[in-house]
Chains A and B, each alone.
Chain A
Amino acid sequence: MKGSLESGSRLLLLLVVSNLLLCQGVVSTPVCPNGPGNCQVSLRDLFDRAVMVSHYIHDLSSEMFNEFDKRYAQGKGFITMALNSCHTSSLPTPEDKEQAQQTHHEVLMSLILGLLRSWNDPLYHLVTEVRGMKGAPDAILSRAIEIEEENKRLLEGMEMIFGQVIPGAKETEPYPVWSGLPSLQTKDEDARYSAFYNLLHCLRRDSSKIDTYLKLLNCRIIYNNNC
């Protein structure tokens, strides 16, 4: 009995090992190809991940904006006040496909980084202020919290990508600073909701920009314009 158990275990081990050997044919990008001292995730993986996160953030932003619009902005005409209200409008971002394709990937990447950085602070305050909103629906609050976290993650990833694509580049671009906190905290309810509307509208837009630029860069750099 014991002997057959041992031989059975050996057989199983043999099966497992042979399975592993056969599966070696599957290509998988190494996580640390340059050794443990210099761990670098491959650029393809970084881009894949970044694109996923940026896509997710834009989805969340759109949903959050639609929720807010449905609940607080019906018939209020907030949209008219939202024109030219984004704090990031000073960044020279390309505004159609041709412009984007003519922008060098360095510039595009620093634009992405600038956008991500300039949203750190507003997202933080957005979470805080949404919490204090009257009857703050969980649909909005939970998405705000999620977006704040994902933004940080994307920023990290982008910095890694930047470091790999443009090694040695010093990156001291200033980014636009948001100063809309007072309007988020104003007593006038309509004014406050209008401020929220603007912020969410700008967030939706900027997340779309980041997502589009990243997907463009991904196809350009990783797939050589052959997606």
Chain B
Amino acid sequence: GTENPASEVETGQSPPEKPKLVKCRSPGKETFTCWWEPGADGGLPTNYTLTYHKEGETLIHECPDYKTGGPNSCYFSKKHTSIWKMYVITVNAINQMGISSSDPLYVDVTYIVEPEPPANLTLELKHPEDRKPYLWIKWSPPTMTDVKSGWFIIQYEIRLKPEKATDWETHFTPKQTQLKIFNLYPGQKYLVQIRCKPDHGYWSEWSPESSIQIPNDFPVKDTSMWIFVAILSAVICLIMVWAVALKGYSMVTCILPPVPGPKIKGFDVHLLEKGKSEELLRALESQDFPPTSDCEDLLMEFIEVDDCEDQQLMPRPSKEHTEQGVKPMHLDLDSDSGRGSCDSPSLLSEKCDEPQAHPSKFHTPEGPEKLENPETNLTCLQAPQSTSGEGKIPYFLANGPKSSTWPFPQPPSLYSPRYSYHNIADVCELALGMAGTTATSLDQTDQHALKASKTIETGREGKATKQRESEGCSSKPDQDTVWPRPQDKTPLISAKPLEYVEIHKVSQDGVLALFPKQNEKFGAPEASKEYSKVSRVTDSNILVLVPDPQAQNLTLLEEPAKKAPPALP
């Protein structure tokens, strides 16, 4: 404002101080009121005027109503109120000395909505017959709000507390105008207040307190609640009983786990109870007993080759042949004590019936003995490209109606432990695994898998076997058209005297290195020569083995060299 020092000094009067607009409020988005604070009046009677102009207009208006809003206020009626338009409002203080204008206030009615508190707050205690008693609070919307048409959207908040308490219990209701309160303490005087808020705007003030006295004999609970509680607990009990009935045992074990008893593999308690000790022991036996750890001893086992007319060596009669290809190999421990089959593995075969054989690789062995066993169904398989490229060593798997009693010691150190003890069928399986269509499933050692032009007929007992092998040695060779027909049953006849062959060692790749047994006939054989290379297979299914100089060094041996002697019954 302007000051005139001269006049101030003279009369102690001055123009008024700048007034200040405090706030503007609209109770229902239809009208609004502005209030100001006057400054010092400068010692003279001061008049205040309010002027404004609207957004988009240049015309300046004066306040239409100074009275309705109280002192130092300006009330804008419906006629003068526009929503979504900015009002630029100024208050001017005028006295004889001068005029002071306030800073302009920019007002948009949309954002200054603050309703009055709700009206007509009533409290009533209700006591219905079969239900819980409650306090019924009712009210109506504040004045100047048009809720029905949807112009004004409103929400309410009620709070109540016993007179002496400090904390209020608040309830929020979006638009309804009544509320029921349960759980009141009898004998207390309750205070109730309510306020409201528009959808976008300020909360109203709290209404004046309403109070109500709860009579002492006000029933807090009623029987219906207890009935409900009883039914609920009955239902819960039923459910629990049902759950226990269904899962009683598992629940009990969950809560009280049973103490684990000793478990001996293969130990059948029931057999013990029945007193059948023999069966009990037998059951124990079947669990991989004896262990294979002492396989190394078996390395030195000799193979006895007998006169094949000895039917004892044929564990099974010819009935085995009825099933094509399925030939259970019964390896009786007793009959397998190192007795070879008719075809000594150290004898060379005369002819290989395998078309894939490489005749160039074969050469006449030096004096090894030959065994003829034309009836043996020998399948000559050839190793595919071996990684070492040292030449192919045919892989021979002798098969036939006669089960081989070639013990295949498989010390874990030399062989992968996948082969089970005593189970010559594993050899067969391995071959099959290599030879069969499942060549892809072979592992490293079996890389030198063979392509069989003729599949091998084999069979085995229903013993547990490794998966890979069982693929090859499936017990359904009849599906495979390549399976050769079983040859005629061949009596085990050998024309030549049979010799013992010593298994020198078994290489890491499963190569059998054979030594001819030192005996008088040979005179002075090459002591350290091991026969691990098959030269050829004769047409009478005899393996012709030659010494393999490369087989001297076990570690260097990379040949597929999974050899099996011709099957000898």
Contact = CB atoms under 8 A, between A and B. Distances in A.
Contacts of A11: 242
Nearest to A217: B150
Interface string A199-225: 000000100110110011111100101
Contacts of A79: 86, 106
A95 B148 contact: no
- Provide the main secondary structure of the chain B interface: loop
A96 B56 contact: no
Q: Select the residue from B30, B147, B150, B242 with max chain A CB neighbours within 10 A.
A: B150
A89 B175 CA distance: 33
Nearest to B53: A83
A138 B75 CA distance: 40
Nearest to A82: B86
Contacts of A84: 55-56
B151 A212 contact: yes
A8 to B, nearest CB: 6
Interface in A128-142: none
A220 B84 contact: no
B165 interface: no
A100 to B, nearest CB: 7
Interface string B186-200: 000000000000011
What is the size category of the interface that chain B forms with chain A? 20 to 34
A8 B242 contact: yes
A96 B246 contact: no
A100 B84 contact: no
B81 interface: yes
What is the size category of the interface that chain A forms with chain B? 35 or more
Contacts of B110: 205, 208
B248 to A, nearest CB: 9
A161 B200 CA distance: 24
A21 interface: no
Contacts of A218: 150
B361 interface: no
B200 A208 contact: yes
A5 interface: yes
B253 to A, nearest CB: 14
A170 B374 CA distance: 99
A119 B398 CA distance: 88
A208 B199 CA distance: 11
B330 interface: no
B86 A227 contact: no
B153 interface: yes
The 7 nearest A-B residue pairs measured at CB: A219-B150, A95-B82, A83-B55, A227-B150, A216-B150, A215-B150, A97-B151
Interface of A: 1, 4-5, 8, 11, 55, 58-59, 62, 79-80, 82-84, 89, 93, 95-98, 100-101, 205, 208-209, 211-212, 215-220, 223, 225-227
30 contacts: A1-B246, A4-B245, A55-B199, A79-B86, A83-B55, A83-B88, A93-B84, A95-B83, A95-B85, A96-B30, A96-B81, A97-B29, A97-B30, A97-B83, A100-B151, A101-B151, A208-B110, A208-B200, A211-B199, A211-B200, A212-B151, A215-B199, A216-B151, A219-B149, A219-B150, A220-B150, A223-B150, A225-B148, A227-B147, A227-B148
